[in-house]
Amino acid sequence: MDSEFSRGVEKERPYLLRYASLHLRDKHAAEDAVQETLLAALKGETAFGGRSNLRTWLTGILKHKIVDAIRRRARDPEPVADMAELDALFDESGHWNEPPAAWPENSLEQKQFFAVLEECLARLPAKTAQAFMMREHMGFETDEICKELGVTSTHCWVLLYRARMALRECLQTNWFKK
């Protein structure tokens, strides 16, 4: 099976692997999701029909495989993260003990920033990172995140809050104070 379509699908593999790795933060899970995507694409070649960009179509399939992987992960118990480090950042009234520095405007344009951001995401507890990525990168609504992760809306908002605070602290330490 060495058609032009299968070569095109295989050519998108590195992009799909980066995309899946960013969302799943687990090399093996990302590889599995991409493999499942490629198999589904090859089986569904007639469904593609060239009506959209191949990368866009494959990414759509991959998003569903990522959600499936997140569902599988959500069924497994996750150890409760120790939040003492984050709590130490705030005083009794909930204000910052030491406010983070202002973010430089051009940071988001720098590849180094994204490398540090990925490292910071990798340090988050799995469910916290999943909630953040589903909300901020994949654009899921709160009820969708709750359903996928098996959490209440209150717990979802706590996860998102903790993710934002932990990412802010990590970026403050590893990017802005360099």
Q: Specify the domain boundaries for CATH 1.10.1740 within the chain.
A: 4-75
* Residue 129: count of CB within 10 angstroms of its CB: 21
Specify the pLDDT at position 107. Answer: 47
Specify the pLDDT at position 38. Answer: 92
Q: Kindly report, residue by residue over 4-27, the tens digit of the pLDDT.
A: 888 888 899 998 988 888 888 778
Cα-Cα-Cα-Cα dihedral sign, residues 47, 52, 58, 63: negative
Q: Kindly report, residue by residue over 70-115, the tens digit of the pLDDT.
A: 877 767 655 545 566 666 777 776 666 776 665 555 545 566 777 7
* pTM for the full predicted model: 0.48
DSSP 175: I
Look at residues 102, 80, 122 and name the one whose alpha carbon lies nearest to residue 175: 102
For 84-176, CATH number out of 3.40.50.720, 3.40.50.970, 1.10.10.10, 1.10.645.10 equals 1.10.10.10
89: exposed, middle or buried (Cβ count in 10 Å: 0-12, 13-18, 19+): middle
Do 5 and 48 touch, CB atoms closer than 8 A?
Answer: yes
Q: Kindly report, residue by residue over 39-76, the tens digit of the pLDDT.
A: 999 888 888 777 778 888 999 999 999 888 887 776 76
Calculate ∠ Cα 93-99-100, nearest 5°.
Answer: 140
Specify the pLDDT at position 4. Answer: 86
Q: Kindly report, residue by residue over 162-173, the tens digit of the pLDDT.
A: 999 998 888 888
Tokens of 175: 């990017």
Residue 136 has pLDDT above 70, yes or no: yes
For 4-75, CATH number out of 2.60.40, 2.60.120, 1.10.287, 1.10.1740 equals 1.10.1740
Q: Specify the domain boundaries for CATH 1.10.10.10 within the chain.
A: 84-176
Helix (H) or strand (E) holding 4: helix 4-11
Specify the pLDDT at position 61. Answer: 92
